[in-house]
Amino acid sequence: MPFLIRCPNCGNRNPYEFKFGGECKTSPAAGADRNAWCDYLYFNENMSGFQEEWWFHSKGCGDWIKIRRNTATHEIADQ
Amino acid sequence: MAATQKILQYKQPESTYDVIIVGGGLHGLSAAYYLAKYHQVKRIAVLERQYIGSGGSGRNTEMVRANKRAHETLPFYKESLEMWDGLSAELEWNLLVQKKGLIALAHSDGEVDAMRMQGDAQRRAGIKIDMLSPQEIKRMVPALDISDRTALPVVGAQFHPEGGTVHHDAALWGYAKAACRLGVDICEGVEAVGFNVEAGRATGVKTNVGEISADKIHIAVGGYSSQIARMLGVKFPVVTIPMQVMTTELMAPFLDYYVASPRLHWYTQQTLKGDLILGGQLDPWQSWKSYNTWEECSERVASILEYFPDLAHARVVRSWSGLCDCTGDSAPVMGPSGIEGLSLDVAWGYYGFKSTPAAGKYSAEYIVKGKVPEKIKHFGLDRFFNRSRVREIII
């Protein structure tokens, strides 16, 4: 396994137990125009370095969790 | 006595160029070649931060094919596939083009139906495509197990006779040599660290060896496009996902075709050298790191062994991974960037290698004429805002 994910319920677990949910984004405010929504849906920071991201522990506790992971080194930041 | 003249000479960049291409992979080098050869652009530099072909160009699985689905993309892939045929002669370099045929297995009636629909779209675009019965597949690939022993037995296949393989390093060296011969400066170890943009117009590239000015800048950086996007203060509609690939030890020839299972996410082919290339699944998460995992290796190998049980003795001897910049609609981003003088050829996911000749050709045409060529008009960045995303499927 390339790295370990610290699940608050289950401890350090193999990432293959999780489903990756992508980078954390802020959705446009109510009444935002179409372009803002297109940008939110399709465009990504796609960070090479630390980013906050969603993971779903599908083969574990079944919770969605947020972690900070360095996508270039796979280092997981302390929460 | 054999000639010892170098086929390729690397240069230090000069201070100004007509066109600067950022990225010394297949797409960048082919764009440079077509600019110099067919558009008579004189001063071209290709900037590569590591060594040419260090990214996806040397990490792909060498598959060339045109069996996609969307009518927007099929003519482009068809032309690209045909361009490989004449390329060895044109570049005076043997690219080991081998159109051996590609067999995509179906494991259910639903898949057969989907392949028929896809085949109709492909035939309409002029691409040869056939359906095969399990018995026909068995005659072509005797090593394949078509019995009911497997969890998902083979019930049919789509045959793409013009699909095949091209040696990726040979293609890279062919384009690099031909471009170099036409006076293109190929600069290794030169990294773009920023861009000079004045009043909405790109005027130059900041590099680790100084600033270089240019009339036109072209971005062909494969999996690293988001790093360029950050320098420009924009975002691209991509996520960078690695794909892991493995090869086995050498074996006597037994597999004449490229065999894939879109359902089970694997493909394999035996190279001219005799080793099998195994791969087919993107990693389940975003990453910029090059690594291989036991989980991916064992899953891929177990799935392939199910259908090629005779391979149980074969050993995996080497593995690697490459970065794929994936868009939501499985189509690339080519053409205008929103900044004048700066053009894009990015977001190629895992279908960049097969697109090399046509992507280079049409990138060059766009750079010179400033008008988006017909064949790439659906690949613009604006499609994400005006409801015209490409209806491609993931295969």
> Are residues A70 and A5 in contact, defined by beta-carbon separation less than 8 angstroms?
no
- Predicted TM-score (pTM) of the model is 0.95
Identity of residue B15: S
Q: Which residue on chain A is closest to B229 by alpha carbon? A: A45
Could you give the CA distance from residue B104 to residue B264 in angstroms, rounded to a whole number? 11
Q: Which residue on chain A is closest to B293 by alpha carbon? A: A1
3-state DSSP call for residue B10?
Answer: strand
The tokens 């289950």 sit on which residue? A10
- Min Cα distance A56 → chain B (Å) is 12
Angle between helices B356-369 and B74-91 (to 10 degrees): 100
Which of A23, A38, A44 to mutate: most B Cβ within 10 Å? A44
- Min Cα distance B197 → chain A (Å) is 21
Tell me which chain A residues have a C-beta less than 8 angstroms from the C-beta of B385. Answer: 34-35, 38
Question: B66: how many CB neighbours lie within 10 A of its CB?
Answer: 26
Identity of residue B195: F
> pLDDT tens across A7-35, in order?
999 999 999 999 999 999 999 999 999 99
Tell me, what's the pLDDT at B206? Answer: 98
Tell me, what's the pLDDT at B395? Answer: 61
Q: Kindly indicate the confidence band of residue A78, based on its pLDDT and cuts at 50, 70 and 90.
A: confident
CA angle B140–B145–B148, rounded 5-degree value: 130
Give the residues of chain B that fall short of pLDDT 50: none
Q: Write the residue in B235, B284, B288 that is nearest to A72 by C-beta.
A: B288
Contact B327 A20 (CB under 8 A): no
> pLDDT tens across A36-66, in order?
999 999 999 999 999 999 999 999 999 999 9
Structure tokens at B199: 């009043």
Contact B238 A46 (CB under 8 A): yes
The interface pTM score, or ipTM, of the predicted complex is 0.95
